[in-house]
Chain A
């Protein structure tokens, strides 16, 4: 039993009906607890790649094993279940549901995954206490923040709440899609450090999308999404897509 979490072999993905593959990945392996940096220009396909890993978008052909399960072979509801039970996701922005409190936002994944819920129960704490613990570790220890409306938080605070939500229930994989692009430099670094620290504690695998080259040394592995889309130059490819969409 090797300890690889994500195993990709000859993966191909193309957008609806388009015959031209958008992403081709001959081979990629991510190990348990590994922190992977994904780089690439805007529009190069980084988010698309994360959507493939999370199983929201179905791959077109090839093999992508997540925790040993090939996503091409499983139904979309099974992919949803894998995501619910084994992943945590942080977006670039708009991470929180505006009509729920901070704590309620952090607790959302618990309602969608028995696995995450049971992991917390196994620790012998309540889900709410776990949420408070994560928020505190991410620098949001003040009680009044926990019950606040999320719209009253700064963007930096919102991203930390999103990180707490991704981390709750200790999922094996954390997907972070440019989570600091809306933050200033200091906050960005602090956020990344906190996230890396939490992932280490949980022994979670982190896939972190950013185009900030200076954070390179904090990761064990880094890939450029261009490597997987370079067969077809991005601009040409986008044009083609556009034309095909129009026709």
Chain B
């Protein structure tokens, strides 16, 4: 007990060096745990993005690209699918349901997709959960819109609020559809997927706002008002993609082949699960590299501690001779020095964990709204316990080095203090 008190007093006596050492270990831990937290968050958000969908279909393109654009709204589809082809395929008897998706517009940086009621019936995420409304209901009028949770939260939109859709997908749009505003008819519950950052309108709505447009620009000669347009025939000519649910999962390869070999236009059908996994593995490698880098940072922190402890060792031989003279065994002296490094390591780890939680707390809203990464709010994971455990063990092992050196000195020096 006295030895531990002595260790603490000695550490306090070297406040500045000790604080720096603790800080460097804390930073290592923050980095290690932060990277791990974000990796888990990413993986969860990623694998929970879409479920229950057997195939995602778009114009001929790369598998990953199709999935990224359709599910994550990252990038643009290279081409469209004709409504005709869509109707043809959707009629296939192996297919249970389809969800048509039309993309290209946005509102304040959130993507707007045109779809139909099937979206709210069949779209599933996470563990085959269906979409739920936190307020209102699906769209019924041409200019109704259903907002994802983040969209609603970002501007505190309520049912009945008016929103204007921009042409294109950037935060800054050159043209808008201010002449035909939409009204919020429903707000979805949070899903932790890109759905939260999506505005859903009917395919007719998408068609209506573009009816008087030519080549991505408002037509100079022709203009229909919102009232006029509702009376027009608003069947879309094209959609961007569609999701497919099969009656039986076993037919997935058959249907996939069928779509990939579609005669009327070249199409790509991908199984989202497999493609998500492939995408994840690609990113996984980067994260492993990141984890290795943070591992080395942690090692550097521990070596920093070793250097700090070894630097002070010569001055401390005097202390050790004094302790030897009052009867402290060399083993106790070993314990004194080792317990100092344990105290440093543990404080560094504790501080590091505090940093991680603080930083994640700060980063959480940004990660969620900007990147759709939902961090695991619950306690410490097994993986994190492994990381912390490894650092503790390494810290103790490294702390033994100066302890052993002092032990050797104390045997050799006896009570002689030669300085």
- Write the residues of chain A forming the contact surface with B, with a CB cutoff of 8 angstroms: 47, 50-51, 54, 56-57, 76-77, 80-81, 83-85, 87, 89, 91-100, 108-109, 111-113, 165, 177
CB-contact partner of A50 in B318, B321, B326, B415, under 8 A: B415
Flag if B415 contacts A94 (CB, 8 Å): no
Query: How many whole Å from A90's CB to the nearest CB in chain B?
Result: 9
CB-contact partner of A109 in B6, B326, B329, B414, under 8 A: B326
Instruction: State in angstroms the CA–CA spacing of A81 and B326 once bound together.
Output: 9
Flag if B324 contacts A56 (CB, 8 Å): yes
Flag if A99 contacts B326 (CB, 8 Å): no
Determine which residue in B6, B326, B331, B414 has the highest number of CB atoms from chain A within 10 A of its CB, and name it: B326
A residues within 8 A CB of B414?
Answer: 47, 51, 54, 56-57
29 CB-based A-B contacts, threshold 8 Å: A47-B416, A51-B415, A54-B414, A56-B325, A76-B330, A77-B329, A80-B328, A80-B329, A81-B327, A83-B326, A83-B327, A84-B327, A89-B415, A91-B325, A91-B415, A91-B417, A92-B417, A94-B321, A94-B322, A95-B322, A99-B12, A99-B13, A100-B9, A108-B322, A111-B2, A112-B326, A113-B326, A113-B327, A165-B326
Q: A51-B415, A94-B417 are in contact. Are A99 and B327 (CB under 8 A)?
A: no
In the assembled complex, B368 has its CB within 8 A of some CB on chain A: no
Instruction: State in angstroms the CA–CA spacing of A57 and B411 once bound together.
Output: 8
In the assembled complex, B319 has its CB within 8 A of some CB on chain A: yes
CB-contact partner of A97 in B12, B322, B324, under 8 A: B322
A residues within 8 A CB of B274?
Answer: none
A residues within 8 A CB of B325?
Answer: 54, 56, 83, 89, 91
Instruction: State in angstroms the CA–CA spacing of A84 and B329 once bound together.
Output: 10
- Write the residues of chain B forming the contact surface with A, with a CB cutoff of 8 angstroms: 2, 6, 9-10, 12-13, 318-319, 321-331, 414-417, 419
Flag if A108 contacts B415 (CB, 8 Å): no
Q: A94-B318, A99-B12 are in contact. Are A89 and B416 (CB under 8 A)?
A: no
Flag if A98 contacts B13 (CB, 8 Å): yes
Query: How many whole Å from B104's CB to the nearest CB in chain A?
Result: 71
A residues within 8 A CB of B9?
Answer: 99-100
A residues within 8 A CB of B322?
Answer: 91, 94-97, 108
Determine which residue in A80, A92, A113, A177 has the highest number of CB atoms from chain B within 10 A of its CB, and name it: A80
A residues within 8 A CB of B323?
Answer: 108
Flag if A80 contacts B415 (CB, 8 Å): no
Instruction: State in angstroms the CA–CA spacing of A174 and B327 once bound together.
Output: 13
Q: Nearest 3 CB-CB pairs, A to B? A: A84-B327, A99-B13, A111-B2
B residues within 8 A CB of A109?
Answer: 326-327
Flag if A112 contacts B12 (CB, 8 Å): no
Q: Chain B: which residue is nearest A81 at the CB level?
A: B327
Flag if A76 contacts B417 (CB, 8 Å): no
A residues within 8 A CB of B330?
Answer: 76
Instruction: State in angstroms the CA–CA spacing of A181 and B54 once bound together.
Output: 92
Q: A51-B414, A56-B324, A56-B414 are in contact. Are A99 and B329 (CB under 8 A)?
A: no
CB-contact partner of B419 in A51, A89, A94, under 8 A: A94
Q: Is the interface of B mostly helix, strand, loop or mixed?
A: helix
Flag if A76 contacts B327 (CB, 8 Å): no
B residues within 8 A CB of A93?
Answer: 417
Query: How many whole Å from A175's CB to the nearest CB in chain B?
Result: 8
Q: Chain A: which residue is nearest B413 at the CB level?
A: A56
Instruction: State in angstroms the CA–CA spacing of A111 and B5 once bound together.
Output: 11
Query: How many whole Å from B95's CB to the nearest CB in chain A?
Result: 79
Query: How many whole Å from B191's CB to the nearest CB in chain A?
Result: 58
A residues within 8 A CB of B329?
Answer: 76-77, 80
Instruction: State in angstroms the CA–CA spacing of A121 and B315 once bound together.
Output: 35
Instruction: State in angstroms the CA–CA spacing of A97 and B417 once bound together.
Output: 13
Instruction: State in angstroms the CA–CA spacing of A158 and B60 once bound together.
Output: 88
Flag if B416 contacts A51 (CB, 8 Å): yes
Instruction: State in angstroms the CA–CA spacing of A84 and B326 once bound together.
Output: 5
Q: Chain A: which residue is nearest B322 at the CB level?
A: A97
Q: Chain B: which residue is nearest A82 at the CB level?
A: B327
B residues within 8 A CB of A113?
Answer: 326-327
Q: Chain A: which residue is nearest B417 at the CB level?
A: A94
Determine which residue in B6, B13, B323, B325 has the highest number of CB atoms from chain A within 10 A of its CB, and name it: B325
Instruction: State in angstroms the CA–CA spacing of A113 and B327 once bound together.
Output: 8
A residues within 8 A CB of B324?
Answer: 56
B residues within 8 A CB of A97?
Answer: 6, 319, 322
B residues within 8 A CB of A50?
Answer: 415
Instruction: State in angstroms the CA–CA spacing of A51 and B416 once bound together.
Output: 8
Instruction: State in angstroms the CA–CA spacing of A89 and B9 once bound together.
Output: 23
Instruction: State in angstroms the CA–CA spacing of A109 and B323 once bound together.
Output: 9
Instruction: State in angstroms the CA–CA spacing of A111 and B4 once bound together.
Output: 12
Flag if A54 contacts B326 (CB, 8 Å): no
A residues within 8 A CB of B318?
Answer: 94
Query: How many whole Å from B160's CB to the nearest CB in chain A?
Result: 70
Instruction: State in angstroms the CA–CA spacing of A107 and B374 once bound together.
Output: 57
Extra contacts, 15 of them, besides A51-B416, A83-B325, A165-B326 (Cβ < 8 A), are A47-B416, A51-B415, A56-B414, A80-B329, A84-B328, A91-B417, A92-B417, A94-B321, A94-B322, A96-B322, A97-B322, A98-B319, A99-B12, A108-B326, A109-B327
